[in-house]
Amino acid sequence: KITKAVVSEFELEVESSKTTGLNEVFQNFKKDNKVVGLEWDSWSGYIVSAKITSAEALVRDIAGYIRDTFNS
């Protein structure tokens, strides 16, 4: 649910195939030259990570969107 909303809101494109394990799911997405990971695992919860330095501001924007949209 969160990943679909983030991809739509930020107009992200799939950069890698989805990896699903017993306790984790992760996939990379891109916007322009910025690559971010949208990930979930049973230990840490939902994670947004910058895969390259230029994506750090985008990660902060995505984190704010998730906080404002899903933490009511």
**Band of pLDDT at residue 57, cut at 50, 70 and 90:** very high
5-16 tens-digit pLDDT: 999 999 999 999
Q: Tell me if 28 sits within 8 A of 52, measured CB to CB.
A: no
Cα→Cα distances 8→42, 44, 67, Å: 24, 24, 16
Q: Per the confidence metrics, is the pTM higher than 0.85?
A: yes
Calpha distance 31→43 (Å, rounded): 28
18-30 tens-digit pLDDT: 999 999 999 999 9
Torsion angle in degrees (nearest 10) through CA of 72, 67, 22, 11: 120
What does the pLDDT read at residue 72?
A: 61
